[in-house]
Structure 1
Amino acid sequence: MDVLSSRVLLKPSDPEKSTVFYRDTLGLAIYRTFPGGTVFFLGQGFLELVGRGDAGASPDVALWLQVRDLPATIAELRAKGVVPDREPRREPWGLDEAWISDPDGTRIVLVQIPADHPLRTDVRQ
């Protein structure tokens, strides 16, 4: 299999409300729109809100979004009315994480990678 591109697809219960959340509250840039959907830039991938869902969020699904400055991101989101589901903290695996949810309850894990974390180690010789 030769993967050329990828997207996460979400079917929100209220597409307009979810579009406002991802566009205006999180500030994600729109890649494209089409009848019945919006595709957002999501770092090195895409998030597509498409159609209308009725099953709701699953506790088995989360979006993992790396940010540059977690405290500043949480402060910015608080100013927009977002209440974190879980405050920022250092995890046992060494990443700083906070959790929020979208309008349907999909967990969004906001992650900052500390400067001394192995994910930041330059392994080139």
Structure 2
Amino acid sequence: MNYVEDDISSGSGDDMNTVDGHNKRQSMTPSGSAQRKRSRKATGDAIVDAMLEIAAASKMRASTIMRNDDRFSINKCIKVLDEMQGVDQQSYFSALDLFENSSAREIFISLKSEKRLLWLQGKCNSLSG
């Protein structure tokens, strides 16, 4: 008797592989690994989005701080001081020393114009006394 061995592979390559002489059909459904990759990508995208939001908020906060710094800057305080009437020379130079303190600058600018001189004189008296 003559036996003819059939080729296990169909030759068409349709979802069939030969491994150690055995047929193996490839699954067409996504594997758990592919689902995990998609899940990781979604999580990564969410993290990136959150980081971008944090960066935008930080940038906005820095911008606000800079605007406040400009509003209460030493230059701004000196400009207001120069426009005030009734400031004697000793009070003027004491005010320049006060303006080194950011809280003093903020108070000075925030006060109504008629209160600034009284506040400044009070500070100058407390410094000299």
TM-score, normalising length from structure 2?
0.23
Task: Compare CA radii of gyration and give the structure with the larger one.
Answer: 2
Q: Which has the higher strand share?
A: 1
TM-score, normalising length from structure 1?
0.23
Q: Which has the higher helix share?
A: 2
